[in-house]
Amino acid sequence: MTFKVAAIQMCSGVDPQKNADDMARLVRDAAAQGAVYVQTPEMTGALQRNRAALKAVLADEDSDVIVARAAALARDLGIFVHVGSTAIARGDEKMANRGFLFGPDGKRICSYDKIHMFDVDLDNGESWRESSAYEAGTEARVANLPFATLGFAICYDVRFPQLFRSEAMAGAEILTVPAAFTRQTGEAHWEILLRARAIENGAFLVAAAQGGVHEDGRETYGHSMIIDPWGRVLAEAGGAGEAVLVAEIDIADVKAARGKIPNLKNAREFSLDRVAVSGGIPA
């Protein structure tokens, strides 16, 4: 089965309403190009370093402007809209970094909370502690769509291959990595991580990213990508600013790739043995 998918690159600011308007314009562009599945980046609704200011504009998912607009877009355009993620109020001290998938009837199919928290100290002085503000998810998720099975992840999740393997073993044919990668980590690892996840699972991968210098001062890497099961980059955006990537994919390519390299079938259980050696380094 052949169909078109899209990845929307954004440079979200601090105002959720403006970001919702930008999202709607770009999603409509993708739909006009024939995309039946459209993905937006991580934190579509707002990128805001000041957590008090972010919480001040947050809503629960029943009242969130991004959620409402995405549902309306899916219904009006008759497509699947995947909000890569947006910050959602949980009703306690923490927020959720939550993705949403809406069907052509505008109804929510499912949601996914980012599992792995970006708690790092980078060489350039950047320090991030997502776990201090966000509650980590605990469930991987796949969704059976009419044309393919979709697996979910968000940004830092891409560094944990076991998540993608579990989704591929559950039948996922399209893996997703909406993201807001930092420029430093993106330059070093973004493309190679995405291509590796596609190759090792014999799956398409769609990664909509944030790109550019944002209102809150952070800089994200951009380079949204759509990758095929053999690891070939079908479409790629630039490093900054908005973009609409559309690629036609043939889901039969998943079966073909997994037939050539049947590593999902060849995987084996194994034990780990630790051998201890006494003494110091030889002189």
CA pseudo-torsion sign 150, 242, 119, 60: negative
Q: Is 111 left (phi over 0), alpha (psi -120 to 50) or beta?
A: beta
Catalytic pick from 4, 11, 135, 155?
155
Catalytic pick from 4, 11, 42, 173?
42
155 is catalytic: yes
Tell me whether strands 243-250 and 2-9 are parallel, antiparallel or unpaired: antiparallel
Tokens coding 262:
């049947």
Separation of alpha carbons 2 and 13, rounded Å = 35
Question: Residue 55, exposed/middle/buried by CB under 10 A (0-12, 13-18, 19+)?
Answer: middle
* Contact criterion met (CB below 8 Å) for 132 and 117: no
Which helix (H) or strand (E) segment holds residue 35: the answer is strand 35-39
114 is catalytic: yes
Catalytic pick from 11, 114, 135, 173?
114
First-to-last CA distance in the chain?
64
Which are the catalytic amino acids? 42, 114, 155
